[in-house]
Amino acid sequence: MTTPTSSGDDTTRNNDEYYMRLALQVAQEALLFGEVPVGCILVQSDGTIVSHGANQVNATRDATRHAELVAIDRWWTGGVFSDQLRMSPEEYAQVAKINNLQEPALEKYFYNDDTIQSSDGRLLPSWGLQKQHPPADLSLCHLYVTCEPCIMCAAALAKMKIGCVIFGCRNDKFGGCGSILHVHQEDAGYRIVSGVLEDEAIALLRSFYSQENHQAPDEKRKRKDNRLADNVS
Amino acid sequence: MPFTEILPGILTKHKQLQKDRIENGSAKEDNGNHDDLFVEAFAVQVEPKLCGPLIRQIQNQQDTELQHLKRVKCLPIVSRHDGDVLKRQKVTEQRLVLIGTIHSECQSLIELCSQQYTVQRVHVPRRPPISEFEWNRMNEKWPTKKVSYLAIEQEQEARRLSPDEIILMEKTIQHVISEKDIVVLDPASGIVVGRASVERRLQQCLSNNTINNPLQTDIIYAIQNVSRRERTQSAGSYLCTGFDLYTCQEPSLFEGMAALHSRVRRILFVDKSPQLGALTHYSLHTLPSTNHHFRAFQWHEPATEEKEGQDNVIARTV
């Protein structure tokens, strides 16, 4: 019944942290586009990364475009679905205009993300649009996500019969894997591992929420920063 | 009135008690027989810092019998005489965490807890209080949530559906049933702003895979149709804010939460979900922690109206 378990041996933990760093990198990209920085990586049992996803709620005006659903949809539809299907390039251009973003950057984010640069400079392969992985059994997959899946995503993952979900920080408002509901324990359920690179995930979210308030008066901003710092420590 | 509002379990219980009170006067609370007011229950004694983890652990047991009770009772700090001076000793404060009543199915939980903690038998109120007097009485034994009946009555008054609203709701639900579609309606203008069938057609002509995508259900299509409108028409709206979702079948947890994230104003459905429904089972629309809440209604065939009227909370108030 105790849900927050950490990974067993060192190798597993190193593996978890390796993939979680990639998920954090995906989340970081979302931050650049004014999205809540949550990212995820879908990994098959042999270690192949088959999909990834970051929040696209603001860009698509679609509240179901959470990182986990984006990743699954991208995988399921061979990369067509999550991004291009919902918006034409003209629509993206419009969004870019509204959000004061440059179009080429958007293009990179939404169309050419089949490689991603790792922290040591290597270009990591294969989760984007160019190399398509046919949908297979999700029960053999692990999902690495920077923040606990919300109830919607937790239910979606249960519906897709995911094998295991590894996440960073908890989601006290919406969390479906222990914080608000225990969706992962219902029916067949799935295994969860929490707290992998938790501090990094919190720091990333904090950077978003502190960024959001640039319009606020100075004294209020400081107070918010302090409060966030307290929460994190 | 063909609509029943889906209320969280505790509120339904309050309304029933309120009805009883109106029908039976206050005799029930003042008859002096308080034995049936309390029920035996199990609680475990823990240190304050262990309260949080323990509650998280037992929260999963969604016991509706305990909804009117607070989970934790603080035990008074023990003070003792030390010579002539009464000194308040620095003793570790203890808390009692409620696990379940003797009637609830919590045996496995109690066994699990008894391995780590001391399990005690306590007495807790069987039901929510129906008056302040009763609430005070109950609190002596176990911390109980206070119910403001005046607030409930005022809220009920404010939430009363207008005849025009009911006509629009009925018309739309009839349309949804006849078209076998899912519709998002802007109640202010009466215009349909999203349709599952439209979005499904638009998406499926671009990718065949979407047909088999288990996550693309009709409710999701309807919500995404609203998003498409917002993107393409610069509609000036934010997601489904202020809009009502009409569906034949109650949303699943996945769909219900998608609607919640989309900030829908109301969900109206005809049939209860055969699995665990987001509204009737999980009361997703009234979860205290979420940043948005909405109202949910089930529609009944007019022929069965009279029968259903017994449970029909709104019908009594309209």
The correct answer on CATH 1.10.3470 for the domain covering B34-157 is no
CA end-to-end span of chain B, whole Å?
Answer: 8
Q: Both tokens of residue A15?
A: 């593996």
State phi, psi for A228 to the nearest 5 degrees: -65, -40
pLDDT at residue B85 is higher than 70: no
Do residue B209 and residue A178 have CB atoms under 8 angstroms apart? no
Q: Which residue has the higher pLDDT, A211 or B282?
A: B282
Q: Which residue has the higher pLDDT, A219 or A4?
A: A219
* A77 to chain B, closest Cα gap in Å: 5
Q: Does B215 touch chain A (CB under 8 A)?
A: yes
Out of A78-92, A184-198, B110-124, which region has the weakest mean confidence (pLDDT)?
A78-92
Residue type, B128: P
R_g (Cα) of chain A, nearest Å: 17
Mean pLDDT of B6-35: 59
CA separation for the pair B148, B156 (Å, rounded): 12
Task: Please list every residue in chain A whose beta carbon sits closer than 8 Å to the beta carbon of residue B198.
Answer: none
**Which residues between 48 and 107 in chain B have a beta carbon less than 8 angstroms from any beta carbon of chain A?**
56-57, 59-60
CA separation for the pair B162, B24 (Å, rounded): 30
State phi, psi for B200 to the nearest 5 degrees: -60, -45
Do residue B207 and residue A85 have CB atoms under 8 angstroms apart? yes
* A189 to chain B, closest Cα gap in Å: 14
Q: Which of B235, B246, B250 is nearest to B195 (CA)?
A: B246
Task: Please list every residue in chain A whose beta carbon sits closer than 8 Å to the beta carbon of residue B206.
Answer: 80, 85
Q: Which residue has the higher pLDDT, B109 or B9?
A: B109
Summarised one tens digit per residue, pLDDT across range B147-205 is 766 666 677 777 788 889 999 999 999 999 999 999 999 999 999 999 999 988 888 77
CA separation for the pair A148, A38 (Å, rounded): 10
Q: Does A132 touch chain B (CB under 8 A)?
A: no
CA separation for the pair B22, A137 (Å, rounded): 58
Out of A26-35, A170-179, B52-61, which region has the weakest mean confidence (pLDDT)?
B52-61
Model confidence at B295, pLDDT cuts 50, 70, 90, reads: very high
Task: Please list every residue in chain A whose beta carbon sits closer than 8 Å to the beta carbon of residue B288.
Answer: none
Task: Please list every residue in chain B whose beta carbon sits closer than 8 Å to the beta carbon of residue A179.
Answer: 56
CA separation for the pair A62, A136 (Å, rounded): 26
Summarised one tens digit per residue, pLDDT across range A140-149 is 899 999 999 9
CA separation for the pair B194, A62 (Å, rounded): 13
Mean pLDDT of chain B: 79
Q: How many residues does chain B have?
A: 318
Q: Residue A226: its pLDDT value, please?
A: 43
Model confidence at B93, pLDDT cuts 50, 70, 90, reads: confident
Q: Sheet containing A141-147: which strands, arranged edge to edge?
A: A49-54, A39-44, A141-147, A164-169, A191-193
Are A191 and A165 spatial neighbours (Cβ–Cβ below 8 Å)?
yes
CA separation for the pair B278, A176 (Å, rounded): 13
Under DSSP, is residue B59 helix (H, G, I), strand (E, B) or coil? coil
Indicate the pTM of the whole model.
Answer: 0.71
Are A41 and A127 spatial neighbours (Cβ–Cβ below 8 Å)?
yes
Task: Please list every residue in chain B whose beta carbon sits closer than 8 Å to the beta carbon of residue A69.
Answer: 215
Q: Residue B194: its pLDDT value, please?
A: 93
Q: Which of A45, A39, A36, A105 is nearest to A71 (CA)?
A: A39
Q: How many inter-chain contacts (A to B, CB under 8 Å) are there?
A: 107
Q: Both tokens of residue A61?
A: 């005006």
Q: Residue B141: its pLDDT value, please?
A: 87
Out of A52-66, B9-23, B183-197, which region has the weakest mean confidence (pLDDT)?
B9-23
* DSSP letter (8 states) at residue A135: P
CA separation for the pair A170, A178 (Å, rounded): 9
Could you report the predicted ipTM of this complex, rounded to two decimals? 0.76
For residue B222, the surrounding DSSP H or E stretch is helix B218-233
Are A152 and A62 spatial neighbours (Cβ–Cβ below 8 Å)?
no
CA separation for the pair A98, B120 (Å, rounded): 61
Do residue B257 and residue A155 have CB atoms under 8 angstroms apart? yes
Percent helix, percent strand, percent coil in chain B, to nearest 5 = 45, 20, 35
Task: Please list every residue in chain B whose beta carbon sits closer than 8 Å to the beta carbon of residue A150.
Answer: 257, 261
Q: Residue A231: its pLDDT value, please?
A: 42
Q: Is A198 a catalytic residue?
A: no
Q: What is the CATH number of domain A13-212?
A: 3.40.140.10
Q: Residue B117: its pLDDT value, please?
A: 82
Q: Which of B277, B301, B312 is nearest to B174 (CA)?
A: B301
Do residue B231 and residue A185 have CB atoms under 8 angstroms apart? no
State phi, psi for B316 to the nearest 5 degrees: -70, -30
Q: Does B290 touch chain A (CB under 8 A)?
A: yes
Residue B297 CA from chain centroid, whole number: 13
Are B182 and B218 spatial neighbours (Cβ–Cβ below 8 Å)?
yes
Do residue A159 and residue B214 have CB atoms under 8 angstroms apart? yes
Residue B71 CA from chain centroid, whole number: 17
Q: Does A156 touch chain B (CB under 8 A)?
A: yes
pLDDT at residue B129 is higher than 90: no
State phi, psi for B296 to the nearest 5 degrees: -130, 140
Do residue B215 and residue A85 have CB atoms under 8 angstroms apart? no
Summarised one tens digit per residue, pLDDT across range A82-139 is 555 555 556 556 655 665 555 544 444 444 444 444 445 544 433 344 445 556 678 8
For A152, which of B206, B214, B261 is closest by C-beta distance? B261
Model confidence at B119, pLDDT cuts 50, 70, 90, reads: confident
Q: Which of A62-76, B79-93, B245-259 has the highest mean pLDDT?
A: B245-259
Q: Which of B185, B242, B182 is nearest to B216 (CA)?
A: B182
**Which residues between 173 and 232 in chain A have a beta carbon less than 8 angstroms from any beta carbon of chain B?**
173-174, 176, 178-183, 185-186
* B127 to chain A, closest Cα gap in Å: 24
Q: Does A96 touch chain B (CB under 8 A)?
A: no
pLDDT at residue A225 is higher than 50: no
**Which residues between 63 and 82 in chain A have a beta carbon less than 8 angstroms from any beta carbon of chain B?**
63-64, 66, 69, 72-73, 76-78, 80-81
pLDDT at residue A7 is higher than 60: no
Q: Does A85 touch chain B (CB under 8 A)?
A: yes
Q: Do the bridges between strand B295-299 and strand B266-271 make them parallel or antiparallel, or are there none, so unpaired?
A: parallel
Q: Which of A75, A74, A70 is nearest to A44 (CA)?
A: A75
Tell me the domain boundaries of chain B: 3-9+161-316, 34-157
* DSSP letter (8 states) at residue A80: S
* B288 to chain A, closest Cα gap in Å: 9
Q: At the fourth CATH level, which superfamily is domain B3-9+161-316?
A: Cytidine Deaminase, domain 2 (3.40.140.10)
Mean pLDDT of A169-193: 90
CA separation for the pair A156, A145 (Å, rounded): 14
Mean pLDDT of A34-63: 84
Q: Which residue has the higher pLDDT, B20 or B130?
A: B130
Task: Please list every residue in chain B whose beta carbon sits closer than 8 Å to the beta carbon of residue A94.
Answer: 231
Q: Residue B5: its pLDDT value, please?
A: 85
CA end-to-end span of chain A, whole Å?
Answer: 27
Q: Residue A187: its pLDDT value, please?
A: 80
Q: Residue B115: its pLDDT value, please?
A: 81
Are B37 and B138 spatial neighbours (Cβ–Cβ below 8 Å)?
yes
State phi, psi for B50 to the nearest 5 degrees: -90, -10
Do residue A159 and residue B254 have CB atoms under 8 angstroms apart? yes
